[in-house]
Amino acid sequence: MKSMMLALALLAGLTAHASTIDGYSLPITGVLTEENFAMSAVQTRTEYRNETVANTCFRTVQAGYRTECRQEPQVVCYPDPHAGQVCTTRFENRCYTVPQYRQEAYTCYQTVSVPHEVFSNNVKANVNVKVSSVPGDVQAPHNTCGVDFTLTGGDFKSVANCSEFIVLAKTYNEESRVGDTVTQNRSIDLTLLDAKKLSAPTKGGIVAMKLEGQTVVFRSGDLTKNPNFSLKLFVQRRKLFKGDETLISRNLTPSEYSFEKISDDFGIVKINLSKLIGGINEKRKHVIRVDLNIAVDTTGAINSKLPSFSASESIIVNN
C-alpha cells in the first residue's frame, strides 16, 4: 500500500527540509502480476550562505611578575707576584624580575558557510510493474515476499525483501519537465527465479570434510536439484626443501565423484583420489581443497540479500 510522504530534515536546527520521500510496497506471491501506481516527492538542492557566529578565542596577556634566581659564573682576576695575574671562576647567586603570562578567553566572531536546502522541483513518478516470469509452481505466502519502491526527491530505487525468489529487474524510464514538475514514466519488468532451487548445492556450505583412506568425504547441499555447478579439486604435496608439487587442480566431471542424499537438503560427496591421481602418501603433508560454485547470472537482481552461490573448504593431511 502507498505510504505517507515523509519529510526528512537535512540538519538538526535548520528550518528548511531535504528532499521528501514517497514509498510503495508490492507483494510478490509467485503469480503473474501487473500493477500501476504513482509516487510524488519534492527535490531540493543544497545552497550555502555566509553567517557570522560568536566563538571563544584565546589571547596571551601579562599577569604580573615573578622573581627568578640562578647561579651564574663570574671570572675574578688578581695579581700574583710569581705568576703575574691569576684568574678564577666563581658562581654568584643573581636574581631577576621577569613578567608572567596567561591565556585569556574572549568572544570573537567568525564567518562560516552554512548549508541549507531550497526547493528545486516537484517529482511525479508513474510506475508500471509487471511480474512477467515465475519459476513453475513456486509460491510465496502473502506478505513474506515483496518489493519496496522509494522515491527520494528524483532518486528512484527498488529493493526486494524475499527469500523465496531472486528478483531480476529491467527498468525503462522516460523523463520530462513542465514548469517546476519533473515527470518520470517508469516500466519495470520483474523476473522471478527459484532461489532455493538455484542455491541448493551450496546450502549449508561444505561441512565435515575429511580423508578416509584415499577418499575425500564431505557434506554438501543437494547436488541433484540444480546441476549447473562446478566441483573443483585441488591437491598439493608440501615439501620441506623443494618446491611444492600440485597433483591436481581442475573441475571434476560427474563420473569422478559420487553423491548420496542423506536428507531433502543435504548429501555426502565422495572423491576417490586413487582413481584420480593414483592416491597420496598419507605420511607426507598434503593440502586438499574443494571449491563448489553455482553458475547463475544475477545481473539486475534487486534483492537486499542473495543466497550464497559458492562454498569452499580445505584440510591438511599429516600437518
Q: What is the CA radius of gyration of the chain?
A: 39
How close are the terminal C-alpha atoms of the chain, in Å? 60
CA 270 centroid distance within chain: 36
Q: Which residue has the higher pLDDT, 9 or 283?
A: 283
Of the chain, the percentage scoring pLDDT greater than 90 comes to: 75
> Which DSSP state fits 4?
P
Per-residue pLDDT at 148: 97
Mean pLDDT over residues 8-17, rounded? 39
Determine how β-strand 181-194 pairs with β-strand 207-212.
unpaired
Per-residue pLDDT at 7: 34
Determine how β-strand 181-194 pairs with β-strand 84-133.
parallel
Per-residue pLDDT at 298: 94
Question: What pLDDT, in 10s, does the model give residues 176-197?
Answer: 999 999 999 999 999 999 999 9
| Residue ranges with strand state E in 134-244 | 146-152, 155-161, 165-178, 181-194, 207-212, 215-221, 229-237
- Look up residue 78 and give its three cell numbers: 688578581
Question: What pLDDT, in 10s, does the model give residues 107-121?
Answer: 999 999 999 899 999
The one-letter amino acid at 190: L
Q: Which residue has the higher pLDDT, 282 or 260?
A: 260
CA 32 centroid distance within chain: 34
- The SS3 call for residue 280 is coil
